[in-house]
Structure 1
Amino acid sequence: MSVFASPAVARRRARTAFAAAAVLLAGACSSPTASPAAHGTTAASTSASALPTVGPSASTLPDLPYAAFDPAEQLDLYLPAAGAHPAPLLIWIHGGGWHTGDKTQITGFAGPSVKAPAPGPCRDIVEVQVPDLAELLAKGYAVAAVNYRLTQDPVAAAQDAKAAVRFLRANAQRLRLDPDRFAAWGDSAGGYSALILAVTAGRRTVFDDPRLGHADVSAAVQAVVDDFGASELTDLPGSHTAAEDPFPYIASAKPGSIPPFRIAHGDADCVVPVQHSRDLLTALTKAGTAATLTVLPGSGHEDPAFMRTQWKPTLAFLDHIFHM
């Protein structure tokens, strides 16, 4: 569940407590543990030195620690049945105003039957937008749903996202993942982390913390889905420096270094203004990145209209990038 305040409210409520919601995780744990393949890296400082054994059938590996700095640094990995090739991976980063939300929400895809909420004043707590996990697995995608530190610190959240990507790439062979086909999907606060993954790849920045393990492994992704994500520093909680602004990284990126983006935003979003995504599209396009923006008329933040109208085009985007 994504929780933001509108720009004026965010500055007044930087330390306000937010409500949380979670959906029970569906799936079973896999069998006994064994040592992972290191993928040519140093060992991570996590208990992931013993990963569950991955069998040929579809499986769920819950609560995998991708770092050892904080107990929140865990992910759930959903694997399709083994195919002829390693699976492309979608890394889902939940929203929640950097204060709430949980990886298990990915099991709560509502589909096209959910009606949009009645028009009303801006609300802090609204619907959640998640991928259709069942359809992704059926098509042969693996999916990682990532938890991160909920300290209202966007930088810590992005550091955790990069650590999760590094952990998954370091163990790609062991987990039947294709390390050259990683996509990041973030909504709301998660959109900021997905954005940072894309625009800081190959650089050492404030978003890279070697204490989180696998520091020598790439945290790059090959595609990004950004649903109503935050990108403007003035609307993020807390105080920030220029080093945390994503736009200079975009402007200084080497040609072709930023992966394709698919962005969606509602023009009635009073939580994260649609201008965030418009400015992001302008910057990405100027940098030569393949990027699109779909603006949903009359849709608010985390509106169920996104699941009704954007799931199929988003899946088509991923299928095109990864030749599925």
Structure 2
Amino acid sequence: MTCNPLGHAARRSLGVVVALCLLATEPATAQPPAPTVNDLVYAKTVSDSGEPIELHLDLWMPLDRSARPRPLVIWVHGGAWLAGSYNAPPPGLRQLLRRGFAVASVQYRLSSQAIAPAQIHDIKGAVRFLRANAARRQLDPERFAVWGASAGGHLAALLATSGGVAESEGDVGGNVDQPSGVQAAVDYFGPTDLLRMQTDVADPPGSAIDHDAPDSPESKLLGFTGPGRGVGVLREAADSRLTEFASEIALAKLMNPIEHVDAHDPPIFIAHGEDDNVVPIEQSVRLAQKLAEAGVPHELQRVAGAGHGFRAMSADVNSAAVDFLAERIGPATQKRRQADAGSAE
């Protein structure tokens, strides 16, 4: 989740907000390799106003063409659910390709096009499409991972934790016979409890956004905007057990990764800057605590001195995230699986 240039706090410091938005979505390399498959349509859907929308993805295949089928990392871009693009190559793309991963960057409907749960429906639709076409694209359908930053981190964590939650599935793109789950996930500084964003703000570092405001990114994602509305109103109603906004509160909880954590979730790597003034680090702490309680393998990297954005993460943290994925879905896991299958015969 990056910044909303129309929010109350954003109007006070527009230059800082725009810089943070760019930082969270900016690719880490100036000249990344071109996609192996560019602008592939994975689904046709509509906006909330009924306008037709095609959803696309870009696919990169690893540099080592000998090891097949390949594990896949699905990249989900940030941008406050308001901006960003699948066309911006994922940060760390070269490192993933060198390690033998295929990488897919997927498009999802922005909150200006459709409110939640459209975004998670789209991401799950992309997973099902890629799994249905795994043989054609030389992908291993049993070794899928997701990696997202900011708003993309939120959706990555939600994808990883919401397996079996019918309301989160949708039918975008069809292929409903295919599972939408993944075998590992990486969440970089993503929101995990939309109703607690403002109350999780610590001072320092403070917050560049009034998350409770009716024009905040979270309020727009939930479609709860306008006078007398906003996420803060929903939190107060939820805490007071009021029923006036029951459906909106239920939607917020549906979109909260921490609501769905259970022992069946895949391993999750979490990284968050301790000086992040856009998404409070307590959001990642909340998720790590839930994962620990459920016994889900996970790792939380608190990055001292780091603010919001992929470039705020150190090279060591980024390498640790890739190592985390390699241990769980990388080429070595395929060899172990083949060896286990051979010994069982």
Q: Same fold (TM over 0.5)?
A: yes
Displaced runs of 4 or more, over 4 A? 8-13, 17-28
Q: Which structure 2 residues correspond to residues 136-175 of structure 1 after superposition, within 5 A?
A: 136-151=96-111, 153-175=115-137
| In structure 2, distance between residues paired with 1:283 and 1:247 | 7
Paired residue secondary structure (2:192): coil
| Residues 1:244 and 2:255 aligned together | yes
| In structure 2, distance between residues paired with 1:281 and 1:27 | 34
- Structural RMSD (CA): 2.8
| In structure 1, distance between residues paired with 2:307 and 2:2 | 13
Match of 1:203 among 162, 165, 168: 165
Corresponding residue of 2:146: 184
CA shift for structure 1 position 278? 0.4
| In structure 2, distance between residues paired with 1:22 and 1:224 | 21
| In structure 1, distance between residues paired with 2:120 and 2:145 | 15
Q: Deviations over 1:119-161 (max 9, x none)?
A: xxxxxxxxxxx2x212221221100011111125352211111
- C-alpha change, 1:246 and 1:211, in structure 2 (3 Å) is same
| Residues 1:290 and 2:297 aligned together | yes
CA shift for structure 1 position 204? 1.3
Q: Which structure 2 residues correspond to residues 105-144 of structure 1 after superposition, within 5 A?
A: 105-106=88-89, 130=91, 132-144=92-104
CA shift for structure 1 position 217? 1.1
Is the contact made by 1:223 and 1:259 (CA closer than 8 Å) also made in structure 2?
yes
Match of 2:282 among 271, 275, 284: 275
Q: Larger Cα Rg: Structure 1 or Structure 2?
A: 2
Is the contact made by 1:149 and 1:160 (CA closer than 8 Å) also made in structure 2?
yes
Amino acid corresponding to residue 41 of structure 2 in structure 1: P
Q: Paired residues, what number?
A: 261
| In structure 2, distance between residues paired with 1:11 and 1:246 | 26
| In structure 1, distance between residues paired with 2:31 and 2:310 | 23
- C-alpha change, 1:245 and 1:26, in structure 2 (3 Å) is closer
**Percent of aligned pairs sharing the same letter:** 38
Greater helix fraction, Structure 1 or Structure 2: 2
| In structure 1, distance between residues paired with 2:165 and 2:295 | 19
Q: Which structure 2 residues correspond to residues 1-324 of structure 1 after superposition, within 5 A?
A: 3-5=2-4, 9=8, 60-70=36-46, 71=53, 73-80=55-62, 81-106=64-89, 130=91, 132-151=92-111, 153-205=115-167, 207-234=168-195, 235=197, 236-237=218-219, 238=222, 239=224, 240-242=248-250, 243-250=254-261, 253=262, 255=263, 257-302=264-309, 304-324=311-331
| In structure 1, distance between residues paired with 2:58 and 2:101 | 14
| In structure 2, distance between residues paired with 1:225 and 1:163 | 19
Structure 1: unaligned runs, 5 residues or longer = 29-58, 108-129
Paired residue secondary structure (2:144): strand
| In structure 1, distance between residues paired with 2:9 and 2:300 | 25
CA shift for structure 1 position 12? 9.8
CA shift for structure 1 position 67? 0.8
